[in-house]
Amino acid sequence: MAAEYRYECCETGFFIRVVVVTLLVLFAGLMSGLTLGLMSMSLVDLEVLANSGTPSDRKHASKILPVVRRQHLLLCTLLFCNAAAMEALPIFLDSLVPAWGAIVISVTLILSFGEIIPQAVCARYGLAIGAKVAPFVQILVWICFPIAFPVSKLLDLLLGKGNEALFRRAELKTLVDLHGNEAGKGGELTRDETTIIAGALELSEKTARDAMTPASETFAIDVTSKLDRNLMRLVLEKGHSRVPVYYQLPRNIIGLILVTPA
């Protein structure tokens, strides 16, 4: 039977249990936040940040990568620690308040300080927080290893090791298009850069016919035309680097003029 009011307000045991309850809530919140913050980061994203991010992002990603590489082992460790803290919380609260009070307080504390706030914070600052507590998380992995490792191996067997593939061509193109839409709003890439990248991604899907311009629509000059000022000005106005030259009929191309503006 659960004890009621076992410790009075000013007893030493009361304060000890208050401290333990506070630590359990903070620990459960940290585990909950890290579950969202670390597990939402793909290995591809971390590799990119570790190699080409800002100096602080490189430092943080390098610290997190060794911990996140075995994703199922990390997931099991964080969930086991979170569950242990939440299960232990009512036990200590039960010696301070009635059973109904222990339930109400534990649910309130877990929802507020053990779930909502930590996950909201780690969703925004997961990289920096994960880097700070990476050594502590590594210690927890080793402590929980006898229990977490078998479960993680079972998950690896059933679901795969969780290594995400790189972006597919269509996904990369969509990502570039999104950057192109933000080009005029202070984005990292200009509209010209996104156009060039998108065009390069589409090359493998295009044929020579797709890149061709019908002869009837091209600007070409007759082989007998005089290269006077008017013709030179017209060539420069067209802006082409190469101008076809035809003999008698526009479809009878016999050469090209290379245009190199000064």
Same-domain status, 75 and 190: no
Stretches where the chain sits below pLDDT 70 are: 1-11, 162-167, 182-188, 261-262
Same-domain status, 141 and 45: yes
Rounded to whole angstroms, how far apart are CA atoms 60 and 45? 12
pLDDT of residue 27: 92
Give the tens place of pLDDT for each residue, 30-61. 999 999 888 888 888 888 888 887 888 889 88
Whose structure tokens read 């000890």? 16
Same-domain status, 136 and 175: no
DSSP string, 62-112: HHHHHHHSSHHHHHHHHHHHHHHHHHHHHHHHHTTS-HHHHHHHHHHHIII
Q: Do β-strands 242-246 and 221-222 pair in parallel, antiparallel, or remain unpaired?
A: parallel
End-to-end Cα distance, the chain: 95
- Positive or negative: CA dihedral 102, 104, 107, 111: negative
Same-domain status, 18 and 75: yes
Please indicate, yes or no, if residue 174 is contained in any of the structural domains: yes
Same-domain status, 121 and 92: yes
The DSSP call for residue 250 is T
Structural domain of residue 197, as residue ranges? Answer: 169-205
Q: Distances in Å between the alpha carbon of 244 and those of 22, 44, 207, 222, 223?
A: 81, 47, 22, 9, 9
Same-domain status, 201 and 217: no
pLDDT of residue 145: 93
pLDDT of residue 7: 54
Same-domain status, 94 and 25: yes
Please indicate, yes or no, if residue 3 is contained in any of the structural domains: no
pLDDT of residue 3: 45
β-strand partners of 222 = 246
Counted domains in the chain? 3
pLDDT of residue 212: 79
Please indicate, yes or no, if residue 7 is contained in any of the structural domains: no
Q: What H or E segment, with its residue span, contains residue 253? A: strand 253-258
- What global pTM score does this model have? 0.64
Rounded to whole angstroms, how far apart are CA atoms 90 and 88? 6
Rounded to whole angstroms, how far apart are CA atoms 1 and 236? 95
Tell me how long the chain is.
Answer: 262
- Positive or negative: CA dihedral 226, 229, 232, 237: negative
